[in-house]
Amino acid sequence: MSVNEIRSQTLPFTCLFVKDPSLGAIEQALQEKTSAYKSYFYNSPLIINIEDAGGDIPEVAEIKQITDRYNFILIGFSGVSRNDIKVRIFNAGFPVFNALGARDLTPPPAPAPAAPAPAPAPAEPQVKVVTKVVQAPGEENFKIVNGNVRSGSEIQAVGCSLLVRGDVSNGAKVFADYDVVILGALRGRAVAGARGNVKASITCLHCDPELVSIGGIYKLGDGIEEKFRNTGVRITLCDEKFSFEPLG
C-alpha cells in the first residue's frame, strides 16, 4: 500500500552570486552572461545569493528593474543573514531561501541532477496587513482582497490562504502560505504553499498567468497547455508535477 508523503524538492534555478552589491556590478554580471547566452537565459527564474556581499544591498525594486531588463524572472534571495535585510526582501514580496537549489550562470552541457533537499524556509517577519482575515467553519483562514490587484502590486497572505475578489493583472504578484483563490483572471504571478506546502492549490476563473508556483515548484505561463489557458482551472501538484483541473 502506497503512503502519501510531503517532501521538499530543489529545482536547478539560475543563481547570481553577488560579491559587489552595487547596482552597476549586478547589471554588468547579467549583461556579460546574457550577451553570450541570450536565448538560454530568456525568462529564466533567478535567485540572487548575497552571502559574500558584506554589508547593505540596494533597494530590491531597483535590483528587480535590472533583472527584468535582462529578461530574468527574479524569484527570491539566498545567503541572507541580516534580519533588517530579510525584512526588506519580504516586504518587497520576495522569499528568502536557506539553501541555494540553484545552478551557476554557465549553461551545463546536460540537465543538472536534482540537488539535496533544502532546509525549511526561515520564519517570515511580520508585514503590514492591508486586508482583513476571516475564517469559515472547517476551513483555513483566508485573507480577502476586494477588487483587482493591479500591475506592480504585491499581496501576501502569511499563515493563511488568499482570496482575491477580482483580477490579478500582468506584473502583479500574490503569495499565500496555503491556497490562492482568484475570482477573476490570473494574468500575473501566483504563489501558493509559499513555505513549502505541496498540498496547496491555485484556483482562478481565467488562467493566463506569467508564472505559477506551488510548494516551491515553479511553472512559467507559456509552458501551460493551450487547452487550460483562458478558462477556469484548479492547479495542484501530483507527484511533483503540475495538474490542471478545469472548473465545471
The tally of domains found in the chain comes to 2
Residue with cell 496555503: 178
82, 140: one domain = no
Q: Starting at the earlier edge strand, list the strands of the sheet with 133-135.
A: 133-135, 141-146, 161-165, 180-186, 202-207, 233-238, 241-246
**Residues 187 and 99 placed together within one structural domain of the fold:** no
pLDDT value, residue 14: 77
Are residue 211 and residue 161 in the same domain, yes or no? yes
Q: What is the largest CA-CA distance in the chain?
A: 57
Q: Is residue 117 part of a domain?
A: no
Q: How many Å apart are CA 215 and CA 246, to the nearest integer?
A: 21
Q: Are 161 and 92 in a shared domain?
A: no
C-alpha grid cell, residue 194:
509559499
Domain-terminating residue out of 57, 84, 103: 103
Does 202 fall in a domain? yes
Are 33 and 99 contained in the same domain? yes
Which residues in the chain show pLDDT less than 50? Answer: 1, 99-109, 123-140
Check residue 114 and give its pLDDT: 61
Distance CA 140, CA 61 (A): 32
Using one digit for the tens of pLDDT, what is the confidence trace for 149-177? 999 999 999 999 999 999 999 999 999 99
Task: Please state, as a whole number, how many other Cβ atoms lie within 10 Å of the Cβ of residue 142.
Answer: 21
- Residue 179 · residue 194 · CB < 8 Å: no
202/224 Cα distance (integer angstroms): 14
- Residue 21 DSSP class: -
Could you give the CA distance from residue 185 to residue 202 in angstroms, rounded to a whole number?
Answer: 12
Residue 126 included in any domain: no
Give CA–CA dist 113/110, Å, rounded. 9
Q: What does the pLDDT read at residue 53?
A: 84
pLDDT score of 132: 40
Is residue 66 in a domain? yes
Residue 2 forms part of a structural domain: no
Stated as kind and residue range, the H or E segment containing 246 is strand 241-246
Residue 236 lies in a domain: yes
Q: What is the CATH number of the domain that holds 210?
A: 2.160.20.70
Query: Do 42 and 140 belong to one domain?
Result: no
Range of the domain at 87: 13-103
pLDDT of residue 102: 41
